[in-house]
Amino acid sequence: MLVKPENEGKYSCVVKNRLYEDSAEGSVTITGKEDFSIILAASIVVCVIGIVVLVIVLIVKVRKQRKLQEELNLAGLANFEKGAVDSINPELPLDEQADLLPYDQTWEFSREKLVLGKQLGVGAFGVVMKAEAYGIVDNEEKTTVAVKMVKSGADRSFIKALASELKIMIHLGKHLNVVNLLGASTRNLAKRAH
């Protein structure tokens, strides 16, 4: 039972039957009235602050997503993540339509877990670096990998070519006679950064 400040006062109880009658009196004093108000006010303030923080986090997340989409559009990679699977023509080779394939986020690997080493080679639009990837393969703390990336300040056609190559490798899957993809770090793809 919740006791409220308006319940404060004197109370009496009378018990009576044919043979006997008895009564008792008592008073109820509510203490801590101020405590209830303080707790209520503090609860309201905490809830309001929580809602404001949640709204700010959502706004920041939406703005970040919009900015990323704008950068992808500027880099000519508007359909990079979602793809346009409905537009794929089965009559044409997949490598000519790779930009229509969706990017599978499960391949995303954190750039912070990758330590670049020496350069292994240079191609038409990219550089291949030796690196150590931490946690990319189950049951291995670190794995030596080759990292392919666009050259610094590369033209957007080179970025699109690398993105297409990535999507093709994802959709091909693992194969004994092909270099296998372990992960990708596409967070800065639209910014033309490594």
Per-residue pLDDT tens listing for the chain (194 residues)? 566 778 888 998 888 888 888 889 988 887 766 666 778 888 999 999 999 999 999 999 999 888 877 776 665 566 677 777 777 888 888 777 777 788 888 888 988 999 999 999 987 778 899 999 999 988 899 999 999 888 877 777 787 788 888 888 888 888 777 788 899 888 766 555 44
Angle at 47 (CA atoms; ends 52, 59), nearest 5 degrees: 20
165 inside domain: yes
**Domain interval for residue 147:** 94-191
Q: 32-64: string of b/e by CB count within 10 Å (b at 16+)? A: eeeeeeeeeeeeeeeeeeeeeeeeeeeeeeeee
- What was the pLDDT predicted at 30? 74
- What was the pLDDT predicted at 191? 56
- What was the pLDDT predicted at 55? 97
Q: How many other C-beta atoms can be found within 10 angstroms of the C-beta atom of residue 75?
A: 17
33: annotated binding-site residue?
no
55 inside domain: no
22 inside domain: no
61 inside domain: no
Q: Pick from 180, 176, 150: which is nearest to 168 by CA? A: 180
H helix count then E strand count, the chain: 2, 5
The domain total for the chain is 1
CATH of the domain at 100: 3.30.200.20
- What was the pLDDT predicted at 77? 63
Q: What is the DSSP letter of 25?
A: E
- What was the pLDDT predicted at 194? 47
Q: How far apart are CA 91 and CA 84, in angstroms?
A: 16
- Residues pairing with 184 in the sheet: 108
- Length of the chain equals 194
Asked whether the whole model's pTM tops 0.75, one would answer: no
72 inside domain: no
- Residues pairing with 137 in the sheet: none
